[in-house]
């Protein structure tokens, strides 16, 4: 019973975190401006920053000035700018969070970079892979930090999953399959939502499908050799070897007359262009595999998930709740599974199932001692946290905010943006004169995720977003 109350307390603290004591940092907190009064912003940066001594949300700008004022008042944000441009040109803004619709990520992230701001950009990074490459090219040209907000990558539960996966692997018992899903219950998202807008680069694969894509890529990197964030691993060549064997989409459908009249779900040819669900099977090369092994990976994503049965007589469809899950299978049948990789601070479970069916379960609400072992360091392809970092109530977003702050600070002290990821060796650390972030998602992998999205959409016949 005590553990239940303790867990409930942690969930409460994640939503209403304690204000930290005055900072002992050697720098003033980064002042963050938010582009748009987006619904995701409170969970992603506003609440997490309240318990941070390194970053604070100080301003917001929105197209609707009244909405911006209300948003700022509701969330205790001190300053409202009358336009995105004004916020990006402001001297009292150090970094920018871009949670705008997918189709606007490229424009406003590059505008921020060209105005000397470092950017935390929501996933998916852009409408397509070419836009992602263009975004990072501009960031390199202007020497700024851009991080894609794949928040789950920063939580210790994923690093613990990687540890147990790596522990089970041997040359004779390799990884032979990965499955990952992200299924949103039906009715949770309105049909009028921008997620179903083709001009804004919407769709299930774009919104929730990038999670399972990035998760299977992570698992395969853990099983390989040398594919660490910030290393000299050739992500482009790796990506070129990824094959989409098959892919299927369920087209968006609605009975909402206003949505039908608006026709936002239609592509430029006037044809349905939005998927409400997509599944795909990929073959992903194992980095460093001498036999050039490719692992079959299955991804499933839906913005409208319902049970097969309906309520008798009424005929109503029943929403289906399923937790985002990733499962890795080895040659001997061993399975390593992480349930609820998206919101592990609320609940998660890592299960290792032996070929005989015996199960061992693990959890990591804070960094596990396993992460500091040699095996844990090897498994941590995006880096790891020291055991002293974090609290049991820290969400994925809170860990992400911590990493973003540390990455930007490392850059300000002299580390080049491309080297703010943790070093893979002592020699590699020499490139990081200003230090590094303990955990980081490599820009080049963000490009690989978008390249997979493009390939899957092309395979379904819907075509990549434009």
Strands 335-339 and 349-353: antiparallel
Domain ranges of the chain: 2-149, 153-382
- Tell me the C-alpha distance between 211 and 113, whole Å: 25
Phi, psi of 62 (to 5 degrees): -145, 160
CB neighbours of residue 164 within 10 Å? 25
Half-sphere exposure of 339 (CA within 13 A, CB side): 14
Q: Of residues 50, 123, 179, 464, which has the active-site annotation?
A: 123
Q: What is the pTM of this model?
A: 0.96
CB neighbours of residue 409 within 10 Å? 22
248 bridge partner residues: 279
**Could you read off the pLDDT of 54-85 as tens digits, one per residue?**
999 999 999 998 999 999 999 999 999 999 99
Helices and strands in the chain, H and E counts: 16, 15
Domain topology for 2-149: Rossmann fold (3.40.50)
CATH 1.20.1630 is right for the domain spanning 153-382 = no
250: nearest Cα among 303, 294, 307, 201: 303
Token pair in block for residue 239: 């990506």
**Could you read off the pLDDT of 279-323 as tens digits, one per residue?**
999 999 999 988 789 999 999 999 999 987 777 666 678 889 899
Sequential DSSP letters for 189-254: S-TTSGGG-TTTT-SHIIIIIHHHHHHHHHHHHHHSSS--TTSS--HHHHHHT-EEEEEEEEEP--
410: nearest Cα among 91, 134, 145: 145
CB neighbours of residue 253 within 10 Å? 12
Residue 2 pLDDT > 60, yes or no? Answer: no
**Could you read off the pLDDT of 377-424 as tens digits, one per residue?**
999 999 999 999 999 999 999 999 999 999 999 999 999 998 999 998
Which residues neighbour 155 within 8 Å (Cβ) at sequence distance 6 or greater?
341, 344, 345, 395, 396, 399
Q: What does the pLDDT read at residue 314?
A: 62
Q: Examine the residue annotation and report whether 123 is marked as an active-site residue of this protein.
A: yes
Which residues neighbour 394 within 8 Å (Cβ) at sequence distance 6 or greater?
14, 345, 365, 366
384: nearest Cα among 436, 344, 340, 434: 436
Contacts by residues 74-78 (CB-CB < 8 Å, ≥ 24 positions apart): 75/41, 75/42, 75/46, 77/34, 77/46
pLDDT band (50, 70, 90) for residue 18: confident
Phi, psi of 23 (to 5 degrees): -65, 140
């Amino acid at each position: 019973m005590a553990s239940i109350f303790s867990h409930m307390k942690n969930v409460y603290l994640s939503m209403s975190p304690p204000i930290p004591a005055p900072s002992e940092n050697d720098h003033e907190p980064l002042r963050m401006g938010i582009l748009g009064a987006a619904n995701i912003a409170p969970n992603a940066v506003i609440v997490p920053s309240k318990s941070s001594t390194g970053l604070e949300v100080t301003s917001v700008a929105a197209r609707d000035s009244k909405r911006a004022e209300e948003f700022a008042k509701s969330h205790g944000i001190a300053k409202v700018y009358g336009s995105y441009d004004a916020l990006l040109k402001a001297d009292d803004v150090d970094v920018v969070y871009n949670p705008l619709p997918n189709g606007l990520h490229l424009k406003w992230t590059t505008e921020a970079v060209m105005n000397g701001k470092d950017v935390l950009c929501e996933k998916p990074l852009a409408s397509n892979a070419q836009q992602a490459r263009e975004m990072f090219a501009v960031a390199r040209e202007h020497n700024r930090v851009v991080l894609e907000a794949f928040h789950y990558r920063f939580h210790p539960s994923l690093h613990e999953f990687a540890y147990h996966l790596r522990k089970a692997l041997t040359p004779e018992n390799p990884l032979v399959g990965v499955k990952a899903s992200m299924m949103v219950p039906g009715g949770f998202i309105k049909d009028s939502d921008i997620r179903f807008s083709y001009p804004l680069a919407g769709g299930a694969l774009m919104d929730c499908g990038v999670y399972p894509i990035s998760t299977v890529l992570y698992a395969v990197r853990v099983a390989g050799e040398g594919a660490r964030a910030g290393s000299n691993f050739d992500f482009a060549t790796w990506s070129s070897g990824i094959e989409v064997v098959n892919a299927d989409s369920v087209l968006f459908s609605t009975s909402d007359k206003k949505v039908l009249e608006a026709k936002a779900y239609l592509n430029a040819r006037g044809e349905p262009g939005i998927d409400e669900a997509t599944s795909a099977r990929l073959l992903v090369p194992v980095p460093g595999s001498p036999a050039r092994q490719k692992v079959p990976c299955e991804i499933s994503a839906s913005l409208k998930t319902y049970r097969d049965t309906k309520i008798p007589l009424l005929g109503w469809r029943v929403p289906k709740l399923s937790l985002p899950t990733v499962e890795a299978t080895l040659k001997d049948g061993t399975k390593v599974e992480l349930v609820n990789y998206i919101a592990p601070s609320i609940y998660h479970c890592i299960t290792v199932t032996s070929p005989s069916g015996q199960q061992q379960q693990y959890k990591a609400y804070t960094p596990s001692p396993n992460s500091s072992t040699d095996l844990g360091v090897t498994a941590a392809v995006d880096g790891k946290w020291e055991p002293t970092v974090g609290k049991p109530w820290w969400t994925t977003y809170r860990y992400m905010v911590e990493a973003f702050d540390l990455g930007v600070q490392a850059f300000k002290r002299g580390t080049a943006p491309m080297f703010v990821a943790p070093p893979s060796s002592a020699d590699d650390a020499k490139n990081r004169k200003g230090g590094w972030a303990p955990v980081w998602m490599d820009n080049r992998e963000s490009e690989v995720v978008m390249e997979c999205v493009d390939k899957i959409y092309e395979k379904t016949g819907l075509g990549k977003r434009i």
